[in-house]
Amino acid sequence: MSCAGAGALGGGGAGKTVTVAIVSNSQMQDAIKLVPEFEKTHPGVNVRFVSLSENQARAKITASVATGGNEFDVVMISNYETPQWAADGWLVNLQPYADKTPGYDPQDFLPKVRDALSYQGNLYSVPFYGESSFLAYRKDLFQQAGLTMPDHPTWMQVRDFAAKLANKKTGMSGICLRGLPGWGEVMAPLDTVINTFGGSWYDMNWNAQLNSPATSQAVDFYVNLVRDYGEPGPAVSSFGECATLMGQGNVAMWYDATSVVTALEDPSQSKVVGKIGYVPAPVEKTAHSGWLYTWSLAIPKTSENKQEAWDFMSWMTSKDYMHLVGTKLGWGHVPPGSRASTYQIPEYQQAAAAYLQPTLDAMNNADEEHPTAMPVPYTGIQFVSIPEFQDMGTRVSQQISAAIAGQTSVKDALDESQKYAQTVGDTYKGVSK
């Protein structure tokens, strides 16, 4: 390519270049900072990053991989994409690479995470970071109000707490919940609520269940909870808004990813460090309800630098990397939820004392295979593992978000959602699981 040189205006150099597409979360930013350490030990390899917000990254990576674009050697995807893309033949089987690499120890990955990233028993992406969901609450506020958070709260209890702690005058919200449209936004916590209320997306025959009594009850509960006792502007709130509100001391409880700790336990961002307690995701009809999500790294089949790509990603997901982050950037920066050994590091245990056990418990209890009270034909907790889910989930989320904003009723929103879901479900009828 004659123009290739001009394409690299920002510099460049000899050797092979590995291009990595990642989602711009703080742990990934840390990895970018530490890359010189990798390049020191791998002099022939240049690593370049494309760092994008979650929605943008997902759209771009999917379009690129699906059309056989070859601009990326390593892509950051999740446990939603990995099994599907492995089945489509778009990803390189990483099992042989992982087995061959001395000291990499793929058995050390948390079992639920490893399963979620495997297809037919082979790893197709390797976890960088994993999360479940749990409930964060202000211990000091509960004490002041004479309330006690149970070790395993139910959603009904949580609502009662929220009602007691919400105070319009002082600007205190009882609870913060996501309401922003997007299948990875409002739908993530809401799906776990639907599951534990006994609802689901489909029954065993792929009949959509979005306006079934159980699902309706769950959505009704969620929407009213956030409307009555939730944060201001819930229909546009997501992780970031809730992190800000709770970090600034304006929220008493927050149900979200276990990664909330990065925002809440960092003194440079949060005014409530040390005042937060963590309990498992609230339940109703199931024993556990937390979700399972991981950001993981995979190599598209089209990559021309597979070995170098693996060299880099095995470095970024290795045991040594955890120590590197811990010593260079601080132990609070260590990416959680990927390796069991991380939780054995004494320094990490100390730094993460406030949330280490709740996080690990949540990770180990998240069950992608049996997410709901009743059997379903799909896997996935906060998603349905079919390619249409991104679009369907987003359309449904828009309806829910409109209900949260008060622009439509929950019933109308769900009736509309049911139509989308049934259209998709019909294409799976008669197809065995």
Partner 1 sequence: MTTTIEAATVPKRAAKRPEHGPGSKADGWSRRLPLLPALVFTFIITQLPFVVTIYYSLESWNLVRPGSRHFVGLSNYAQVFTDSQFRQVTLNTVVLTVGSVLIAVALGLLLALMLNRAFPGRGVVRTLLITPFLITPVAAALLWKTTLLDPTYGLVNFILRPFGAGQTDWISSFPLTAVMMAIVWQWTPFMMLLILAGLQSQPDDVLEAAGVDGASSFAIFREITIPHLRRFIELGIVLGTIYLINVFDQIYMMTQGGPGIASSNLPFYIYQRAFLGFDVGQSAAMGVVVAILTTIVSTFALRLIFRTFSGNEASA
Partner 2 sequence: MSTSTTAPAGPSAAAQHDEPRRKKGSAGRVIMAIVSWVVGIVFFFPVLWMVLTAFKQEADAYTDPPKLFFAPTLEQFKEVLSAGAGPALLNSLFATVMSTILVLLLAIPAAFAVSLRPVAKTRDVLFFFISTKMLPVVAAIVPIYVVVNEIHAVDNIWTLVVLYTAMNLPIAVWMMRSFFLEVPGALLEAASIDGASISRTMREVVLPVVSPGIAATALICVIFAWNEFFIAVNLTAAQAGTVPVFLVGFITSEGLYFAKLCAAATLAALPVVIAGWVAQNKLVQGLSFGAVK
* CA separation for the pair 118, 95 (Å, rounded): 9
Contact status: 234 vs partner 1 (CB under 8 A): yes
The residue (of 249 and 277) whose beta carbon lies closer to partner 2 is: 249
Residue 102 token pair: 């001395």
| Minimum distance, C-beta of residue 348 to partner 2, in the bound complex (Å) | 20
Binding-site member from 227, 387, 415, 428 for partner 1 (CB under 8 A): 387
Binding-site member from 3, 14, 353, 431 for partner 2 (CB under 8 A): 3
- Compute and round to an integer the Cα radius of gyration of the chain: 22
Size of the site for partner 1 (CB under 8 A): 37
Contact status: 63 vs partner 1 (CB under 8 A): yes
| Minimum distance, C-beta of residue 31 to partner 1, in the bound complex (Å) | 24
* CA separation for the pair 124, 297 (Å, rounded): 9
Binding-site member from 96, 111, 240, 330 for partner 2 (CB under 8 A): 240
Contact status: 233 vs partner 1 (CB under 8 A): yes
State the DSSP string of 197-215: TT--SB-TT--B-TTSHHH
Residues 6+ positions from 86 with CB-CB distance below 8 Å: 93, 119, 120, 122, 124
Report yes or no: 137 and 242 within 8 Å, Cβ to Cβ.
no
Output the CA–CA distances (angstroms, integers) from residue 236 to 218, 277, 401, 405, in the order listed: 20, 26, 8, 9
| Minimum distance, C-beta of residue 388 to partner 1, in the bound complex (Å) | 8
Report yes or no: 82 and 296 within 8 Å, Cβ to Cβ.
yes
DSSP-derived letter for residue 403 is H
* CA separation for the pair 123, 257 (Å, rounded): 24
Binding-site member from 99, 369, 391, 426 for partner 1 (CB under 8 A): 391
The residue (of 196 and 390) whose beta carbon lies closer to partner 1 is: 390
* CA separation for the pair 393, 201 (Å, rounded): 10
Contact status: 397 vs partner 2 (CB under 8 A): no
Size of the site for partner 2 (CB under 8 A): 55
User: Among partner 2, partner 1, none, what does residue 258 contact (CB within 5–8 Å per kind)?
Assistant: none
Count of residues in the chain: 433
Q: Where are the alpha helices (DSSP H) in 292-345?
A: 306-316, 319-329
Site residues (CB under 8 A) for partner 1?
A: 55, 59, 62-63, 66-67, 84, 88-90, 171, 179-182, 231-236, 244-245, 250, 387-388, 390-391, 394, 398-399, 401-402, 404-405, 407-408
Site residues (CB under 8 A) for partner 2?
A: 1, 3-4, 6-12, 17, 19-21, 23-26, 29, 32-33, 48-54, 56, 60, 63, 67-72, 171, 238-244, 247-248, 250, 259, 262-263, 268-271
